[in-house]
Chains A and B, each alone.
Chain A
Amino acid sequence: MNGKNIISIIAIMGLGLLIGACAYNQEASSVYETEADKRAADPRNKNYRSGDIYSGYVAMTSQSRDMQDDDFSNPGFLWVDIGEGLWSKVNGSKGKSCASCHGSAAKSMKGIANTFPRYDAKTKKMIALQAYLNRHMVNDMGAKKWKWESKNMLAMAIYVKLQSRGVPVKAGLNAQNRPFFVKGKKFFDQPRGLLDMSCKQCHTDNAGNMARSNVLSMGMPNGFPTYRLKWQKPGSIHRRFIGCNKNVRAKPYKRGSEEYTNLEFYMLQHAAGLKWETPSVRN
């Protein structure tokens, strides 16, 4: 038995432990089984399903759903407020605000969430919303870049995507972007890291099962940037990818990397039919 086999065996057992009864508390495992079913049974979930797929909303507790459903108390809306302020604020040497060219965000940005990541003719690769915004601000406004996970970038990404809320996810595949969809799918299906686990193993094969006390979601991007209770602030989907990769002991890629941009694009495709929820509330 060589080293690689041992690691595979441990990884498989690890997966078994993760998705099976909680290892720490025998009594808790019976609670978990009803808990997963209980969450799935919430009548609100019907707006968050489409055929066989469902959004992470379905995997949350009732209290987290309450938090997302109330636009006043959803903490993500604190960043909507900031984004709304930024939209009308002059930014850069050309003395313009987003509103100067784009007018009302509700009109001009409706449905835009479905167009990111998009194929970029300049680089001949896919470009994510945050990367596009930075290029747009630098070139067209004479403004400075914002860091991917900064208050301003999160606020703007949330504010822009909010304008697509309720719109069904629909990102067309064409000759140009299809190769990147294929790359993204390959990443999603590929086991990686010390634990030798793929996104697919948890989020497709075991969606709806419990990983310790969390119900595994299908890994849908339609609520991002999301207000994550664990982070106690909103975060981008690339941030989430980094965390997931670290947790299977794989070296993470950078925000805006080709790998994560392609992965995000693939995930957008497999969310087709769900509605945009940004800013969602997740664990």
Chain B
Amino acid sequence: MASKPRVKLPKSVKKGQVVQIKTLIPHKMETGRRKNKKTGKKIPQHIINKVEATFNGKPVITADFHAAISANPYFVFHARINESGTFKFVWTDDKGKSISTSRKVTAA
């Protein structure tokens, strides 16, 4: 899979606060509809098809992406943070490969 994903969220929040989380990851999101200009053969589909966000192991949101999601997928969502802990973000592609990253948040 591609290089490092970007994640933006606050490091410390008030308990119960709802925060916005922004994510951006490099990926071609090859649609499977393009043809190689030289050979004429179809370039096979290769996309990120799933993004999962969990907090302290509990699911916050899951996204299923299809080829209509633009390259370098940008995904913004929200989360209510009731306690301190760790966010985990996992991007999975249609070849089964995945990339993940975590962020700690303190809630006071």
Contacts and interface: CB of A to CB of B under 8 A. Distances in A.
Q: State yes or no: do A and B touch (Cβ within 8 Å).
A: yes
Interface of A: 72-73, 75, 77-78, 81-82, 232-233
B67 to A, nearest CB: 13
Contact of A78 (B3, B22, B29): B3
A41 to B, nearest CB: 27
A81 B70 contact: no
A72 B71 contact: no
Nearest to A81: B4
B71 A73 contact: no
Interface of chain B: mostly helix, strand, loop or mixed? loop
Interface of B: 3-4, 6, 8, 22, 24-26, 28-29, 70-72, 74, 76
Given A72-B8, A72-B22, A82 B71 contact: no
Nearest to B29: A232
A72 B72 contact: no
12 contacts: A72-B6, A72-B8, A72-B22, A72-B24, A73-B22, A75-B26, A75-B71, A75-B72, A77-B24, A78-B6, A78-B26, A81-B3
Contacts of A72: 6, 8, 22, 24
Contacts of B29: 232
B3 A82 contact: yes
Contacts, number: 32
Nearest to B4: A81
Contacts of A81: 3-4, 6
A78 B8 contact: no
Interface of chain A: mostly helix, strand, loop or mixed? mixed
Contacts of B3: 78, 81-82
Contacts of A82: 3
Given A72-B8, A78-B26, 6 more contacts: A72-B6, A75-B72, A78-B3, A78-B72, A232-B28, A232-B29
Given A78-B6, A81-B3, A73 B28 contact: no
A232 B27 CA distance: 10
B71 A233 contact: yes
A50 B72 CA distance: 33
A155 B22 CA distance: 22
A232 B74 contact: no
A70 to B, nearest CB: 9
B26 A232 contact: no
Nearest to B70: A232
Contacts of A75: 24, 26, 71-72, 74
B47 to A, nearest CB: 13
A258 B72 CA distance: 34
Contacts of A77: 6, 24
Contact of B24 (A73, A232, A233): A73
B19 to A, nearest CB: 14
A78 B71 contact: no
B32 to A, nearest CB: 15
Contacts of B76: 73
Contacts of A233: 71-72
A77 B71 CA distance: 14
Nearest to B7: A72
A232 B71 contact: yes
Nearest to A227: B72
